[in-house]
Amino acid sequence: MSGDRRRLYAGSLVALVLLLLVPLGVQNGYYLEVLFRVFIFAALGLAWNLVGGYAGQLSLGHVAYFGVGAYAFTLLALDLGWNPWLGVAGGVAFSLLAALVIGSITFRLRGPYFTLATIATAEILRLLVLNLQDFTRGAIGISTPQLFPAAAGDRDFYLAAVLLAAVAYAFNLWADRSRFGYYLMAIREDEETAMAVGVNPARTKLLALLPSAVLTSLGGSLYASSFHFVQPDYVFSIDISNQAAIVAMLGGAGTALGPVLGSVILIIASELFKEVFQTAHLLIYGILIVVVVLFLPGGLIGLFGRRGRRPRAAALPAAARGEEGSPRHSSSSSM
């Protein structure tokens, strides 16, 4: 392990410990709630980043896994009497299933067709949940089971969000530095060439979608529980898909730190603007996207020197040929 990487891992660990200690100093419920949102959306952005950032597949349908997590957790606990945490695990299982089905359909398509197909699949799920009323209570929505005792709610939700974001961040570091990650970046840069050096794009993209869907599903369950309520137009809203993508793009898609940075800035900005005008968060998101695309295509991370894209892509052929000395995780070498 190079010194550079050791420093990165040590720094990340220190940051995680510090974040977990925050509730000792901050007990104000409102601040904890905002911080909870910061880390939930960091987790969602990091999850999206595996597919959208590293593999360059612009999914605008990630809310599918968010909503499946939220609903499965709620219904399993309420209707089947499962322990809520078991319900969360059930949500993960359903999201994996959804990812396998959605991924094998949508990853056959490219560019705008892929993006549209992801929106269409998420919309189909929203409409089904809305219409299968006997089963889902339809548009009325359902009160969610509680994951944490009410007294310590804010603190526990915050801690859970930080842990989820940390796991998602670890997955991004893995994508940043492993052979599997190089495959993803190869697909992003040029799918034909990636195929020519022996990457199976369909399978690789699907493999990236699985952890992405699991993390998004966990985020959905957690968020729904903190919100005390699920409703199809809310937990399957395209706004959530957009927000996950915006968080990553704003900070810097295809970097591990980017989505975290993006979430901190986006959530705090929308919190500040909420005081000024109540419904304007989408306007801010819209303007931010336009500004990022036109002036900061690499995201905010791009402002701090060009770490990230090019050198990684250039390192690809060596990694793809499996030469010695290329960074890898042994577990991922069986592609």
Contact status: 115 vs other proteins (CB under 8 A): yes
User: Is the sign of the CA dihedral 234, 240, 241, 242 positive or negative?
Assistant: positive
Q: Out of 109, 163, 167, 335, name the contact with other proteins by CB under 8 A.
A: 109
Contact status: 310 vs other proteins (CB under 8 A): no
Copy the structure tokens of residue 275.
């005081």
Contact status: 283 vs other proteins (CB under 8 A): yes
Name the residue nearer to other proteins (CB basis): 39 or 107: 107
Candidates 305, 306, 115, 92; CA nearest to 210 is 92
Task: Return the ∠ at Cα 250 (arms to 166 and 180), rounded to 5°.
Answer: 50
Contact status: 276 vs other proteins (CB under 8 A): no
Contact status: 130 vs other proteins (CB under 8 A): yes
Residue 119: CB minimum distance to other proteins, A: 7
Task: Give alpha helix (H) positions in 190-237.
Answer: 191-196, 201-227, 232-235
d(CA 201, CA 207): 10
Contact status: 228 vs other proteins (CB under 8 A): no
Chain centre distance of CA 131: 27
Contact status: 251 vs other proteins (CB under 8 A): no
Interacting span for other proteins (CB under 8 A) from 15-23, 76-84, 107-115, 315-323? 107-115
Interacting span for other proteins (CB under 8 A) from 1-9, 111-119, 146-154, 178-186? 111-119
d(CA 146, CA 154): 12
Rg (CA), the chain: 20
Q: Out of 11, 29, 286, 322, name the contact with other proteins by CB under 8 A.
A: 286
Contact status: 100 vs other proteins (CB under 8 A): no
Site residues for other proteins, window 50-69 (CB under 8 A)?
A: 56, 58, 60
Chain position carrying tokens 């530095």: 177
Copy the structure tokens of residue 314.
């250039």
Interacting span for other proteins (CB under 8 A) from 65-73, 83-91, 114-122, 224-232? 114-122
Name the residue nearer to other proteins (CB basis): 36 or 236: 236
Q: How many Cβ atoms sit within 10 Å of the Cβ of residue 223?
A: 25
d(CA 247, CA 290): 13
Q: Give me the residues that bind other proteins (CB under 8 A), please.
A: 56, 58, 60, 105, 108-113, 115-117, 119-121, 123-124, 127-128, 130-131, 238, 242, 245, 249, 277, 279-283, 285-290, 292-294, 297
